[in-house]
Structure 1
């Protein structure tokens, strides 16, 4: 499989077609990795080679509006991204997949588990937003500001450093790449719409996701500042889904960046069809 960008075409309600970007590498059990809010699929640049070396087929994707995926959609939401992820899994037609959803796309993974459990053999929720988290006055003001396109980029990148208590060696270069992506035509407007959205549809589907029989693993960095109490939020998600919770000591909102080796090991131990289990 090549790492060259591929595109899945999805019909839009207006009769046009939108493209979802992904890359596809390796052979073995399929793992589909989806990035967090305001990020691109290169967030998996450390985890992907580890999973490939472990024997997985790894597909990473950009959700609509970000990375190399198209803008111009009528809807930007974690629910819509869930539909796109399901469409991509159907297109890949590689049997039940392991789906890794980070932050925003964790809510999308809940939708897939609830609506299309036949596509999944397991779900990993990392730094998971699966509901509209309680926010203080400062948080509500920030949410209001970031959903205004003129303020979206300044507010977002003022917050960005807080997500990385353990900064990778390429932190500056990666941040510059994400900034450049959001400056491309249409992307800031799309991201502002995402920021003004809600995860309440995903929260409503938590019982269905739990009842689907799809195993779930919850990962949370103990220093994840996106939540008032990251450990409490992880435990709440775990309780709602009947899922085990793994806490990454000192980790932030992107476990695949902070602790890729630890995340790989947790995936191998969790996934019943992992290459390690096969051996």
Structure 2
């Protein structure tokens, strides 16, 4: 584990293939997730010769809990800072859920650095919800039962194929949610504004090569394919739908995700 120093605290990240000279890849998970959800992707891309950094969000995993801003924009600034820390050259960024919003913002803000983006189950705009759904969410997010409820919800989002090591990953999530200060940071991330749509509305597509990957059984959306089509349209990217997969393609279907990212890297390097 490594740490990136930011003005308010440190961001934890794992580095796969640190000695490699291939493309730098930055991976950003979603809210109430741990960086280890990218364990298969990081290892496979490193085996292909790339240098892969997988970060935790602010207050998540092993990142510090001292931050005030927990938005997707804040995560974008951390991803950019991490890319600069690792050399600052043309970078491919991969984001899941809220992390997909973060790498989209990064592509808009730093077109000189972010050459390609892969959006996994992207959360680029809030899903529509009823008053009853919002009330239920408030109840579920109330301690002392909230850490267990969120861990159960995390498991439910894995509709379809169960990843190898899923039980250990669930325990990481439970452990992460137990301390009060860390849970406050996670709660701030869940309840905070999702700002990616601010960059998307009224803007041209980002310059970065883009691909959207969505699980066919993603429970976050009533119609995952329709949401994925919209996401692909606003970033000017192609769309890959993944069977037997919910909200976490990076861990549920790395056999699909790794080749998609590899092809994106090849397109980025061909256009450099």
How does the TM-score come out when normalised to structure 1?
0.89
Residue 149 (structure 2) pairs with residue 158 (structure 1):
no
Residue 112 (structure 2) pairs with residue 121 (structure 1):
no
Matches within 5 A, 1:225-240: 225-240=219-234
Give CA deviations for 1:33-71 in whole Å, capped at 9, x if unaligned: 111211111101122221111221111111110111000
User: What CA distance in whole angstroms lies between the structure 2 residues aligned with 1:253 and 1:106?
Assistant: 12
SS of the residue corresponding to residue 55 of structure 1 reads: coil
User: What CA distance in whole angstroms lies between the structure 1 residues aligned with 2:5 and 2:78?
Assistant: 10
Comparing 117-126 with 181-190, greater Cα deviation is found at: 181-190
User: What CA distance in whole angstroms lies between the structure 1 residues aligned with 2:255 and 2:34?
Assistant: 20
Aligned with residue 14 of structure 2, among 16, 23, 39? 23
Gaps of at least 5 residues in structure 2 are none
Residue 259 (structure 2) aligns with: 265
Q: 1:211 to 1:39 in 2, by over 3 A?
A: same
Q: 1:24 to 1:271 in 2, by over 3 A?
A: same
Gaps of at least 5 residues in structure 1 are 13-17
How does the TM-score come out when normalised to structure 2?
0.91
The CA RMSD over aligned residues, in Å, is 2.0
Residue 5 (structure 2) pairs with residue 9 (structure 1):
yes
User: What CA distance in whole angstroms lies between the structure 2 residues aligned with 1:101 and 1:175?
Assistant: 20
Comparing 209-218 with 255-264, greater Cα deviation is found at: 209-218
Q: Once the 2 structures are TM-superposed, how far is the Cα of residue 142 of structure 1 from its aligned partner? A: 3.5
CA contact (8 A) 1:50 1:261 kept: no
Residue 193 (structure 2) aligns with: 198
CA contact (8 A) 1:144 1:196 kept: no
Residue 15 (structure 1) aligns with: none
Q: Once the 2 structures are TM-superposed, how far is the Cα of residue 73 of structure 1 from its aligned partner? A: 1.2
The number of residue pairs the alignment matches comes to: 267
CA contact (8 A) 1:142 1:155 kept: no
